[in-house]
Structure 1
Amino acid sequence: MTDDLLQPIFPEWPAPARVHSLVTTRVGGVSRGPYASLNLGEHVGDDPRCVAENRRRLRRWLPAEPHWLRQVHGTTVALLDRAAAPSAAPGMKAGDEPQVADAAVTRTAGVVCAVQVADCLPVLLCDRDGTVVGVAHAGWRGLAAGVIERTVAAMGTDPARLMAWLGPAIGPDSFEVGDDVREAFLRHEARAAFAFLPRDNGKWLANLYLLARQRLEACGVRAVYAEQACTFSEPQRFYSYRRDRITGRMAALVWLA
């Protein structure tokens, strides 16, 4: 524990004792304006000194510096061990860039996998034996393209031995999308239609949680738990890109002790 004012969410799932995880909220940092207060994103226009202090406060809850990624709404999975130097860590060489990926997996104790979110769905994964953990950044583009499938495959174990936890994201009553988004999922699986409700304006309300559950189930991951807190509808607690456009980023993190 620390004396910081961070108010992270601790996943409620029956993970093994070696598995540790948390998701930050926007509470407990020093950023101001649209980034108030615990913005962890260096790429959103916030004062870099504030981001550095926010990351320092988060670091006090963790066993090591997180492995920050450069996320592009893709499906690349970073396979992390101690040899992969964390970005923004002390001693990082000038010009070094975070790895381009939207998910991370590790079997190494003390290595902190992380993704940043502000409406997109963070998906945490672990096996029942506590030997491997992973996290995926599942916005609709990555989800439709297969980021969950790629992450499950990268964990290298029987999917039936895995469990997943779905963190806070934009909720099914707030995520309005067009035909293009719906069709991107229907091309993959017809039952994705159940995750879209029609609106009078010709748009659809999309349920990221249901879409993620469908993808996990298709992979063989049956044990799925969820927070289901809507980032869009809780502005005091969460950042939301869809709601505010200019905003900060939260982080979902998982590691092995």
Structure 2
Amino acid sequence: MYTITSLDVIQKITLELHKKNKTIGFIPTMGALHKGHLKLVEESKKKNDVTIFSIFVNPAQFSPTEDLSKYPRPFKQDKKLLENEKVDYLFYPDVKTMYPAGFQTYISVNNLSNIFEGKSRPGHFTGVSTIVMKLFNLIQPTNAYFGQKDFQQSVVIRQMVRDLNLSIVINVIPTVRDQDGLALSSRNIFLNKEERKQALNLYQSLLLGKELVIAGNKDVANIKLEIKKYLEKNKLIKLDYIEICDPENLSPVKVVTKKVVILIAAYVGKTRLIDNILV
């Protein structure tokens, strides 16, 4: 595996790959890798000649109330994991490389970026869209890979790709979970033992919502109420939102008549977690 930090070098490499008609799978991340990220690598290697993985803790997607400095950065460990997975190239730029002095151009996917996660984390998706677009321009992948856990992010990225006529296929890979059901997340390391135990109820509440729909309960207000009542039993969980939406465009629904996604965000102690389930 080659580690690249320079914009010029990564562009030269990808240009040569395209000249040779090689397909490129690309996985953009902020590091602190877990089995969910490695699943993206596995999927990329199945479909592409070359896999490029990026690690960049993007300051533009952190809101003013979030502590960028506390985000985990175990680079040596991450690099070893990627070497073991036989990733071809790791792109690891620094902040000054991606956002040089005088940088002032940002991408905003307007409506989708201002609801749910965007409402709770102002500016978050502008930061995400901007860095992903920059990376897409640099690497020009055939396929890009994202995890379903960040469901709204995948919808935002797909909208950006459509709107800007990018020839990139966006692949969303199902959420990878621990054996007890907790969605793998780089933020799970911040949970203490009791918080982690209570965090399991986020997924359980989503399963409850799914069961209600399958049992014939189509009223969204009632489903959301039952999920809230279930979570209220957990003193360490502070619910941010529950939304039931069309998975294609995140438009809220009042009655379940077709496939939906149930989205949830909550604080468990001081750690904010998100999860979702398709029904």
TM range (shorter): 0.3 to 0.5
Q: Which structure: larger Rg? A: 2
* TM-score, scaled to structure 2: 0.31
User: Which of the two has greater helix per residue?
Assistant: 2
Structure with bigger RCO (C-alpha 8 Å, 6+ apart)? 1
* TM-score, scaled to structure 1: 0.33
